[in-house]
Structure 1
Amino acid sequence: MNLYSKAIFLAVCLLLLSGCWNSKELDDLGIVVAVGIDKTEDDQFLLVTQVINPSEIATDAPTTRPPVSIYESTGDSLFEAFRNMTEKSPRKMYLSQLRLLVIGRGLAEEGILPSLDAFYRDHEFRTAFFVTIAKDTGVKDLLKVLTPYEKIPANKLMHSMEAVQRSLGSSKGVVIDELIGQILSKGQSPVLPGLLIDGDSDIGTAIENIEKIDAPTQLRIDNLAVMEEDRLIGWLTPEESKGLNYITGDMKSTTVSYPCGDEGLISVEVLRTDKSSKAKFEDGDPTISIELELEGNVGELDCPIDLTKAESIETINGEVEKRVKQKMEAAIKAAQEDFGSDIFGFGNLIHRKNPAYWKTVEKSWNSKFKELKIDIQVKAQIRRKGNSTQPITKEE
Structure 2
Amino acid sequence: MIRAVIVICSSLLLILFASGCTDFVEPNQLAFVMGTAIDHVENGNIEISHQIAIPSQMNGSSKGGGSADSDSFLVMSAKGRDVLEANQKIQRQMSRRLLTSHRIVVAISEEFFSKNDVGNLFDKLGRDPANNQRDITIMVRGTNAKEFLMTKHPLEHLSSIAAGKELHINGLKNYSTRQFIIDSVAQEHRTIVPVLQINNTQANKNRKDQLAALSGYAVLNKKLKIGGILDDTEGSRSAWMSGKDGMRELTIPWKDGNGNLSFRLTHHKREITSTSGNTPKDVLVKVRAQAYLLENTTQLDMSELDNMLEVQNQLNEQVREDLQLTLNKVQNWGTDVFGIGAYLHHKYPTWWRLNKEDWDENFKQIKVTIQVNIQLKSIGATGGQVKRGL
Same topology, TM > 0.5: yes
Preserved contact between residue 28 and residue 91 of structure 1 (Cα < 8 Å)? yes
Identity %: 17
> Unmatched 5+ residue regions in structure 1?
166-170, 201-208
- Match among 113, 122, 129 for residue 119 of structure 2: 113
Aligned-partner SS, 2:209:
coil
Deviation at 1:20, TM superposition (A): 1.9
Instruction: Count residues with an aligned counterpart.
Output: 381
After superposition, the Cα gap between the structure-2 partners of 1:148 and 1:362, relative to the gap in structure 1 and judged at 3 Å, is: same
TM-score normalised by L of structure 2: 0.91
1-structure distance, mates of 2:285, 2:213:
32
Q: Which residue of 1 aligns with 2:253?
A: 259
Hey, what does 1:226 align to over in structure 2? 219
> Structure 1 residues 155 and 318, CA, compared in 2 at 3 Å: closer, same or farther?
same
DSSP 3-state at the match of 1:199: strand
Going from structure 1 to structure 2, the CA distance change for 1:122 and 1:222 (only over 3 Å counts) comes to same
Name the stretch that deviates more: 239-248 or 26-35.
239-248
C-alpha displacement at 1:177, in angstroms?
1.7
Among candidates 112, 136, 140, match of residue 142 of structure 2:
136
Distance 1:10 1:286, change over 3 A: farther
Amino acid at match of 2:217: L
1:357 to 1:89, Cα distance in 2 relative to 1, 3 A? same
Instruction: From 150, 156, 174, give the equivalent of 2:162.
Output: 156
Match for residue 210 of structure 2 among 209, 212, 217: 217
CA distance in 1, matches of 2:30, 2:44: 30
State the distance in 2 between where 1:275 and 1:316 align: 22
1:300, distance to aligned residue in structure 2 (A): 0.4
Aligned pairs for 1:48-197 (under 5 A) are 48-60=49-61, 63-109=68-114, 110-165=116-171, 173-197=174-198
Return the offset for 1:361.
0.5
Task: Give, in whole Å, the separation in 2 of the partners of 1:74 and 1:144.
Answer: 17
Matching residue's letter, 1:131: T
Distance 1:269 1:211, change over 3 A: closer
Q: Contact between 1:37 and 1:48, CA under 8 Å: does it hold in 2?
A: yes
**C-alpha displacement at 1:6, in angstroms?**
2.8
2:231 alignment counterpart = 237
Would you say the 8 A contact 2:237–2:246 is kept in 1? Answer: no
Cα shift readout 1:144-184 (whole Å, capped 9, x = no counterpart): 0011221122111101001112xxxxx66511221111111
- Residue in 2 aligned with 1:203? none
Query: Superposition RMSD on alpha carbons, in Å?
Result: 2.3
CA 1:214–1:296 in structure 2 vs 1: closer, same or farther (change >3 Å)? farther
- How far 1:281 sits from its partner (Å)? 4.7
Moved over 4 A (4+): 209-215
Shift of 1:127: 1.6
Q: Structure 1 residues 153-162 or 287-296, which shifts more?
A: 287-296
Match of 1:250 in 2: 244
**Equivalent position of 2:378 in the other structure:** 384
Aligned mate of 2:313, from 315, 318, 334: 318
2:303 aligned counterpart, secondary structure = coil
Secondary structure of 2:69's partner? coil
TM-score, normalised by the number of residues in structure 1:
0.90
Structure 2 segments unaligned to the other structure (5+ residues): none
Per mean C-alpha deviation after superposition, the further-off stretch among 60-69 and 20-29 is 60-69
